[in-house]
Structure 1
Amino acid sequence: MGRDGVLVALMAALTESHLRMLANPGAYPDSTTYPHDGTGQDHDSLGLFQMRPAAGWGTVAQLMDPTYQVAAFLGGPTGPNHGSPRGLLDIPDWQQLPKGAAAQAVEVSAFPDRYAQHEPVARAILERLTTSPGPGTPDGGSGTPVSSRVVFPLPAGTWTRASRFGTRTHPVTGVRTLHAGVDYAAPAGTPMLALADGVVSYAGPDPRAGNLLVIDHTLTGSDGPQRMASAYAHLSDGSTTVAEGDVVTAGSQVAQVGSTGQSTGPHLHLQIHPGGFDAAPVDPEPWLATHSPTALDGSAVLPATGTCPTGATS
């Protein structure tokens, strides 16, 4: 395949599933019995490339295997579908096509223009995976991926706001102090998603935050690229799937909601630090509204202003 083929595959998987193995309990309840990173609801689509059993891509058991999905997407003489449906190697002169068009030729999506927008992130991931870091450059010298896409860090419909940003009496310590983020109550095990493309700068324990994850981002804007960090606290034990130095993409699952540290119940505590984690935090909700957060299906997810529902806080 070469790097071009791997790049096309990454672009397709980023677009279709944000590089996650998705089960589909609505169409195939048994798909949830296989290892998976989350669930989707697009017709009867499954897995990394959202392949459909009804379209002949394979059985549920086959499509819930990431190795099989990659082999099916690549196709060719050794592919499992023998050219029907067509994999990338079954597309005549695919190397001459724009990368997004090559991905579309396999996926046959109703939204063919989506794939090209993921090429910069796919290139950053490929570079990260195939470049040996140099001394003092944990990211191989490529820097944090520059991105303009921001998503809400929890799936739509899974959460309620439990505590806003600002000074308050801490529910565990009883001390009045700054609540440096916003708490979103959600069931334990709810997928926690990366807010934007970035590089993990910390993944580990914290006395108050329990299991803490910090991601560095560089976001484009009217004033040019701006550095910022997002922090996610009280994550479930053993649910963090990334380590320091890992490149992540917007909307990819990196952990699960938990109740570790100083917490009264399962929830995500989200902090936003323009300028980096060493800089002062700001209220996440106005920041998110400015940057147009979306759910993975593209719908807006921030609620209208109003009274705060009760729920777990930290």
Structure 2
Amino acid sequence: MRKLLPFLASPVLLLGPTVALLVLTIISAAARPGVCGPSVSNVPASLTATTADGVSMRLDRTQLSHAATIARVGAATDGIGRDGVIVALMAALTESRLRMLANTGAYPDSANYPNDGNGSDHDSLGLLQMRPAAGWGSVAELMDPEYQAKAFFGGPDGPNHGSPRGLLDVPGWDSLPKGVAAQSVEVSAYPDRYAAYEPVAETILDALTTPGSAAHATEPGTNLPTAENAVRQPAAGTEVVFPLPSRSWTRTSGFGYRFHPVYGTRLLHAGVDYAAPAGTAVLAAADGVVREVSWNPRSGNLLVLDHQLDDGPVSTAYAHLLDGSLLVSDGDPVTAGQQLASVGATGAATGPHLHFETHPQGFYNPEEPEAWLRTHAAGQLKKAAPAACVTGDPS
């Protein structure tokens, strides 16, 4: 976030308790209730888009993964919908080019958190260049992309409760031009920059939410089904197996919000953790095809499979895999019970374990995996699946 206009930095702090309560009541009423927003079904390896003033820009998988985080948080936030996600993407494109930036000049410890490089804009941090000094959050919080997205969207359930104000705290934000809405949250000294990124944000969201899009798409439109990517679709199967050998594991953490053991912030644990000795075989839960083999600072070595079961498509994810243990590659077919890799402790992990996720509505829409395993005759526990629109990252 660029230099704040002094008279707009913290308006609610100037109000008395009664007026502040009235303002927050109006803000809460202004938030539009609604169903889930856009559902992320694909994160391309890269994407090229053009700004409103004709500048072509290429975004890589890391940038698009951050965009997917913003879209997932927006989908889980009442009143945001597609338009709100577009506004947030415009802000992140303008402020950081969708990169998670540390700022070692202002906060040397910011380099200790997963980041995509070092910024130097005053004391701003992260995707949306939020400032601890302006009250957006601590360094640890602002180095978490999911926290920044929640803070940007704001509203009654946002982490800042209206000060600084997020998008839902701006009365009538959805009737404003999207660039103006972004500026209403960012409060930049350069308010006209955001509008140029609206077509780029639209292109990104279209690519993220197009079912069946190709993981290697680089241009708008190339994510449509083709003969080349049709062979990557999984064949229908019925058998589901547990992702680790019998009696090799101990359940250590279930699905739901918790304080992350490495980052120390409250995040959604979007799967279930099974501790097992390093090198224990990790098994495919069902017949399918490898959707993605990747690495990121939180999940470490990550493998995602797509399956087609009798009750519909589902993706499964396997995180923290041992370095050098992967036995499959992008696009490979797999069978239920086939060894994929081995248990490790890569990424943000405190010891060797398998973090396992299920996404019945498309990747980046996780549901409680033990309920899914139980339903398909491979699970152990009894917890019911949570409500739709829960989102999170593997850890």
TM-score, scaled to structure 1 = 0.49
TM-score, scaled to structure 2 = 0.39
Which has more helix, going by share of residues?
2
